[in-house]
Amino acid sequence: MVARVRRVVAAAREPREAVRAAVEAVHESSDRYDWTGVYLLEEDETLVLSHYVGEPTPHERIPLGRGICGAAAREKQTLVVPDVGADPRYLSCDLSTRSEIVVPIMKDGVVLGEIDIDSHAPDAFGPADRQELEQIAALLAERFAGREVSH
């Protein structure tokens, strides 16, 4: 998955296209990934959905610190939630969602956005998912660090 994302991100003409291509490549890499998206941090306070694959979400804008996405960005760390029903931070989007992983996209300790993936399977994300998604987040950070990425 990482090699494929590296190729599509490198081939993209602009950062927005790189995000789209990365989201689609990640989503296609696993049948456990039922919703895959990238949120970008706007004005250091709101996560704004840039591109996604899956069912529409009512959460296109998430304040920093709200939900699992907001918590991952605020804490600057990957959050793996094996059972979203047991986590009070979870913002329900799809009643079928059972687990979630959120990986911050960071450059020099600054959060630029994040990769968010939901699964209909409980405990769907293991160490390999986390490692690969953190590498992909680093690729995206390198691609659009210092550049404005429109949503």
User: Edge-to-edge strands of the sheet including 35-42?
Assistant: 61-63, 46-53, 35-42, 110-119, 99-107, 79-81
Q: pLDDT-based confidence at 151, cuts 50/70/90?
A: very low
Residue 39 pairs with which residues in a beta bridge?
49, 114
Q: Please give the residue that has the higher pLDDT: either 149 or 49.
A: 49
- Give the integer Cα–Cα distance in Å for 95 and 4: 31
Task: Give the side-chain half-sphere CA count within 13 A for 128.
Answer: 5
77-118 pLDDT tens trace: 999 999 999 999 998 878 899 999 999 999 999 999 999 999
123-133 pLDDT tens trace: 999 999 999 99
Provide the whole-model pTM: 0.93
Domains and CATH numbers, the chain: 2-144 (3.30.450.40)
